[in-house]
Amino acid sequence: MISIGNISKAYAATPVLKNCSFTVDKGEVVVICGPSGSGKSTLIQCVNGLESIQSGQVRIGEISVHDPHTNLSMLRRKVGMVFQHFELFPHLTVLGNLCLAQRKVLGRSREHATDRALELLARVGLADQAYKYPSQLSGGQQQRVAIARALSLDPEVMLFDEPTSALDPEMVGEVLEVMVALARDGMTMIVVTHEMGFARMVADWIVFMDAGEIVEKSRVEQFFSCPESHRAKAFLASITRSHPTQDRAERPVSAQEETVHTSQHASSGNRGAGTNQDPSGLVF
Ligand SMILES: Nc1ncnc2c1ncn2[C@@H]1O[C@H](COP(=O)(O)OP(=O)(O)OP(=O)(O)O)[C@@H](O)[C@H]1O
Ligand SMILES: [Mg+2]
């Protein structure tokens, strides 16, 4: 369903993605992990065209994302994106945030958009928060609203860029729970995260990046039991070192285990903050 073929990108003379390739089949969950600055955010933003590439290609279904003739707005209806910092519209209520793109992009009636929004808010456990403003919600609640908003356009693919790394630890679990449920419902997902417990629960594949390269793409069991590359081994060891009391093999898997906050570095990209541009790049 998603095919990333030999993509490369540089900022000025500095390469940030070097010949990166992998595929994601329909219904699969791919987790991208790796050290800070390895290119994870840049790569995921190339998938829906928020970042340009210098060579290679990205296909979603039959659509070539970086073809200049591609209507990116049409494409992004199919690809929901959730960021580290929620990116909700502060002047709109939760319901307003969920209805705006449905009405402007999909042309849904107020009634239809509201019904869908309330359905999605119930799905993320926020049915009673519809009339609050983002500033009246906790970080975990805001991120669940952001997920519901991305789902409101009925996407075929969901992209997540460190959706829990800006949250207080006690709020990480509630967001991961929503993501686990989404994965189990069969959503095709690419998730940049260091939540290795989440990865072990729902990922089909792990893509491990370092210094702009995909060093390893492994089945999740293989990655955790026997990573191929020394760089992945070192990365896993650093995670284990930061949680020395946790025994990877024996403890029960919970989505929230092994939280690693490697960076608060906000992702780059050309998404606009203007009133007529959705954070995932939809223009309306
Ligand atoms: N707009 C930009 N201009 C120049 N360099 C950039 C820009 N955006 C990112 N970079 C550089 O590209 C590299 C990859 O950045 P990216 O944000 O994709 O890494 P990351 O793996 O997501 O890191 P983190 O885990 O800290 O979020 C880094 O060296 C970063 O400094
Ligand atoms: Mg990043």
Q: Tokens standing for 67?
A: 């073809």
Q: Report the alpha-carbon distance of residue 10 to residue 72 in Å, rounded.
A: 22
> Nearest CA to 221 among 184, 254, 186, 196?
196
Q: Tokens standing for 161?
A: 């860029």
If you measure from the C-alpha of residue 136 to the centroid of ligand 2, how many angstroms do you get, rounded to a whole number? 27
Q: Is the pLDDT of residue 249 over 50?
A: no
Q: Report the alpha-carbon distance of residue 221 to residue 215 in Å, rounded.
A: 17
Is 39 touching ligand 1 by the criterion CB < 6 Å? Answer: yes
Q: Report the alpha-carbon distance of residue 142 to residue 121 in Å, rounded.
A: 11
Is 41 touching ligand 1 by the criterion CB < 6 Å? Answer: yes
Q: Report the alpha-carbon distance of residue 272 to residue 50 in Å, rounded.
A: 10
Q: Report the alpha-carbon distance of residue 220 to residue 224 in Å, rounded.
A: 6
- Whose CA is closest to atom 3 on ligand 1? 11
Q: Is the pLDDT of residue 255 over 90?
A: no
Q: Tokens standing for 157?
A: 């693919």
If you measure from the C-alpha of residue 270 to the centroid of ligand 1, how many angstroms do you get, rounded to a whole number? 13
If you measure from the C-alpha of residue 33 to the centroid of ligand 2, how many angstroms do you get, rounded to a whole number? 10
Model confidence, pTM: 0.88
What is the three-class DSSP state of 40?
helix
In this prediction, residues 99-115 reach a mean pLDDT of 96
The model's confidence at residue 276, banded by pLDDT at 50, 70 and 90, is: low
* Residue at token pair 């009634």: 111
Cα angle 247-250-251, degrees, rounded to a multiple of 5: 75
- For 110-162, what is each residue's pLDDT tens digit? 999 999 999 999 999 999 999 999 999 999 999 999 999 999 999 999 999 99
**Inter-residue contact 140 to 172 (CB < 8 Å):** yes
- Whose CA is closest to atom 26 on ligand 1? 36
- Whose CA is closest to atom 5 on ligand 1? 11
What is the three-class DSSP state of 201?
helix
Q: Report the alpha-carbon distance of residue 152 to residue 261 in Å, rounded.
A: 29
Is 143 touching ligand 1 by the criterion CB < 6 Å? Answer: no
